[in-house]
Amino acid sequence: MALLEIQNLNITYKTDKKEIRAVKDFSLNIDTKDSIGIVGESGSGKSTLAMGILKLLPKGTTKTTGKILFDGVDLLELTEEEFRKLRWKDISVVFQKSMNSLSPVHKIGFQMKDIYRVHEPDARDEEVRKRILELFRFVNLSDRVYNLYPHELSGGMMQRVSIALSLIYYPKLLILDEATTALDVVTQGQILDEIMKLEEALDLTRIMITHDISVVASSCKKVVVMYGGCLLESGYVYDVLVNPKHPYTQGLLNSFPDFIGEKKDLRGIPGSIPDLSLEYKSCIFTNRCKKAKSICFEKIPKIKTFPNEWNVACHLLGGFDGE
């Protein structure tokens, strides 16, 4: 059963002079205990999608349409007060720069207790402390961190604290927005290992927002490729990353080094990301695609589904009128 169903989601940023269509007609089902990596270039709409799910987009300057169903409840229909009962308790997030999410003037234990009491105001101090220390062990932190200030921790330790914070209520859905980007490769690998162990222990469902394909390849079951606010390809990691069908996915992989096998020349994708203030009646990737045909400039491709939950939006694969 799908824990999260995103149906025809559109997110638009409004400015005085124009509208930026950051997410366009996006649909995705995420099952319980899934781990999904969302990849794409900067400006592809990944973080906007995450903030849309969390209802953290700036009010008054964004317009959101479509549906985001969590356990059958449309999040977009909830008031802020109603959504606060879900945020952090059932849906939690780890942001990119952990040091910015921690107060420099309070000890780690104090901050975590403060957050826990948002939903459990009557919890006893000893009960809260026990929960926090249990989470520290989950993320491989010593108990002494409880009485330390953020400046006394390394970057990797602060990121572990942020992960522990996000898990304080044992949420159903965890969103990680570039959560390991600022870390060195060794620390990144350790934290990814810990996250995967936590998924097994806590029955977590995870969305990993990243531009690093290796993170998805090593830690996720499924992958979604976004470009210009659109879903271009999705499926199981092994299918999509080993034998990509969409020209954009192929281009992404050609610009990323292999860690095993023969060394290959890296090739970037010519051109720039599209101007999202314009309305496109064609494939969003057309102007950068070396394989584009005339139909690609004329019509928007529909999602074509292949065996094993493999979805691709491309005219070359029958994305408009079928085969």
Give the pLDDT confidence score for residue 98 in this predicted structure: 66
Structural domain includes residue 188: yes
pLDDT tens per residue, range 36-74: 999 999 889 999 999 999 999 988 889 999 999 999 999
Give the pLDDT confidence score for residue 131 in this predicted structure: 92
Tell me the HSE value of 104 on the side-chain side, using a 13 A CA sphere: 3
Alpha helical stretches, state H, the chain: 46-54, 80-84, 108-119, 125-138, 155-166, 185-202, 213-219, 237-242, 247-254
Give the pLDDT confidence score for residue 69 in this predicted structure: 97
pLDDT tens per residue, range 206-246: 999 998 898 899 899 999 999 999 999 999 999 999 999 99
Give the pLDDT confidence score for residue 197 in this predicted structure: 85
Give the pLDDT confidence score for residue 321 in this predicted structure: 46
Query: Does 113 have pLDDT greater than 70?
Result: yes
Mean pLDDT of all residues in 155-167: 88
Mean pLDDT of all residues in 169-181: 88
Q: How confident is the model at residue 322 (pLDDT cuts 50, 70, 90)?
A: very low
Structural domain includes residue 22: yes
Structural domain includes residue 72: yes
Query: Among the ranges 66-70, 115-119, 268-272, 314-318, which has the highest mean pLDDT value?
Result: 66-70
Rounded-to-integer distance, Cα 220 and Cα 175, Å: 13
Which of 181, 238, 182 shows the shortest CA–CA distance to 215?
Answer: 181
Structural domain includes residue 142: no
Structural domain includes residue 236: yes
Mean of all residue pLDDT scores within the chain: 90
224 Cα distance to chain centroid: 9
Structural domain includes residue 129: no
Q: How many domains does the chain have?
A: 1
Percent share of the chain, pLDDT over 90: 63
Structural domain includes residue 132: no
Query: Does 99 have pLDDT greater than 70?
Result: no
Is residue 163 a contact partner of residue 186, using CB atoms and an 8 Å limit? no
CATH code of the domain containing 198: 3.40.50.300
Structural domain includes residue 301: yes
Least confident of 96-100, 116-120, 167-171, 230-234: 96-100
Residues in the chain: 323
64 lies in which domain range?
2-90+169-290+297-317
Q: How confident is the model at residue 248 (pLDDT cuts 50, 70, 90)?
A: very high
